Amino acid sequence: MGISVSRYSDITNNELVTKFCSTEVICPNDPFWNQLLAFNIQLPANVDEQLIFDSNTESLLQNFLQNNPATGNLGSLVQVFITRATELLAAPNTDNLMLAWQSYNAIFFIRAVTKYLVEMVPEYDLCKHLDVQARNSNPTQDQEDDKLPNGESRVEMLIDALISLIIDVPVTDNTYHLHLESINTLLVLMSVYMFAGIHGQTRLVETSLIFRTLFQGRYTMQAPLLIKILLNNLSNMAPAPAQFGSQGPGSLFINIASSLWSMLTLSSTQTIYTEPPSERRELHERLIREHPLANQSCLLLLALSNHHIHEENLYRCALLRCEDSNETSATTPRKDNGQLTPPRIDMAALHKALCATAGCEHSTLLLYLMLHSCNAYKRHITNVPHIEKLIIPILQVLYNAPDSNSHHIYMSLIVLLILTEDDALIKNIHLVMLKNLPWYTERSISEISLGGLMVLVVVRALQYNMARVRDKYLHTNCLAAIANMSCEFRNLHPYVAQRLISLFETLSKRRARLCSEIEGGDINSIELPHHAEDKTEEIMEHIAVLDEVLRMLLEIVNSCLTHQLCNNLNLVYALLHKKQLFQQHSHHNIAQNIEMVIGYFSTRLQRVQEGAGGELGVTEVLQCIKKGAEQWSSDRLKKFPDLKFRYVEEDKPEEFFSPYVWSLISSCGNIYWASECAARASDRLLA
Note the pLDDT tens digit of each residue in 60-88.
Answer: 999 999 999 999 999 999 999 999 999 99
Q: Which of 336, 277, 214, 361 is nearest to 666 (CA)?
A: 361
Could you give the number of structural domains in the chain? 1
Residue 229's identity, in one-letter code, is I
Give the model's pLDDT for residue 331: 45
In a 10 Å sphere around its CB, with 0-12 CB exposed, 13-18 middle and 19+ buried, how is residue 399 labelled?
buried
- As a whole number of angstroms, the distance between CA 58 and CA 551 comes to 60
> What single-letter DSSP state applies at residue 138?
S
Residue 302 lies in a domain: no
Q: Which of 206, 214, 223, 207 is nearest to 189 (CA)?
A: 214
pLDDT mean over 272-282? 88
Residue 115 lies in a domain: yes
Instruction: Inform me whether the pLDDT recorded for 378 exceeds 50.
Output: yes
Residue that wins the pLDDT comparison between 611 and 494: 494
For CA atoms 171, 175, 179, 182, the dihedral sign is negative
Instruction: Inform me whether the pLDDT recorded for 148 exceeds 70.
Output: no
Read off the pLDDT of residues 199-257 as tens digits, 9 standing for 90 and up.
888 777 788 999 999 998 899 999 999 999 999 999 999 999 987 655 444 434 444 44
- As a whole number of angstroms, the distance between CA 269 and CA 261 comes to 12
pTM here is 0.90
pLDDT mean over 254-280? 64
Q: What are phi and psi of 118, to 5 degrees?
A: -60, -40
183 and 293 Cβ atoms separated by less than 8 Å: yes
Residue 475 lies in a domain: no
pLDDT mean over 434-447? 91
Task: State the DSSP H helix or E strand holding residue 323, giving kind and residue range, or none if neither.
Answer: strand 323-324
Assign residue 436 a region: left if phi > 0, alpha if psi is -120 to 50, beta otherwise?
left
Q: What is the 3-state secondary structure (H, E, C) of 447-504?
A: EEEHHHHHHHHHHHHHHHHHHHHCCHHHHHHHHHHHHHHHCCCCCCCHHHHHHHHHHH
- As a whole number of angstroms, the distance between CA 408 and CA 329 comes to 36
> What single-letter DSSP state applies at residue 268?
G
Residue 234 lies in a domain: no
Give the model's pLDDT for residue 678: 83
Read off the pLDDT of residues 533-585 as tens digits, 9 standing for 90 and up.
567 777 888 888 888 999 999 999 999 999 999 999 999 999 999 888 887 77
Give the model's pLDDT for residue 321: 93
Residue 494 lies in a domain: no
Residue 99 lies in a domain: yes
Give the model's pLDDT for residue 252: 41
State how far the alpha carbon of 524 is from the alpha carbons of 519, 537, 540, in Å: 13, 13, 14
Give the model's pLDDT for residue 199: 85
For 51, the domain range is: 1-134+151-215
Residue that wins the pLDDT comparison between 182 and 205: 182
Give the model's pLDDT for residue 518: 78
- As a whole number of angstroms, the distance between CA 369 and CA 143 comes to 49
Instruction: Inform me whether the pLDDT recorded for 524 exceeds 60.
Output: no
Going by pLDDT thresholds of 50, 70 and 90, the confidence category of residue 266 is very low
Read off the pLDDT of residues 398-418 as tens digits, 9 standing for 90 and up.
999 888 888 999 999 999 999
Residue 310 lies in a domain: no
Least reliable range by pLDDT among 294-298, 473-477, 534-538, 616-620? 534-538
Residue 558 lies in a domain: no
The average confidence (pLDDT) of the chain is: 86
End-to-end alpha carbon distance in the chain? 49
- As a whole number of angstroms, the distance between CA 603 and CA 579 comes to 12
Give the model's pLDDT for residue 141: 44
- As a whole number of angstroms, the distance between CA 430 and CA 450 comes to 6
- As a whole number of angstroms, the distance between CA 344 and CA 526 comes to 57
> How large is the angle between the packed helices 535-564 and 494-520, nearest 10 degrees?
150
Give the model's pLDDT for residue 332: 44
Give the model's pLDDT for residue 13: 86
Give the model's pLDDT for residue 527: 55
Q: Count of alpha carbons within 13 Å of 653, Cβ hemisphere only? A: 16
Instruction: Inform me whether the pLDDT recorded for 3 exceeds 60.
Output: no
Going by pLDDT thresholds of 50, 70 and 90, the confidence category of residue 295 is very high
Going by pLDDT thresholds of 50, 70 and 90, the confidence category of residue 660 is very high
Residue that wins the pLDDT comparison between 471 and 463: 463
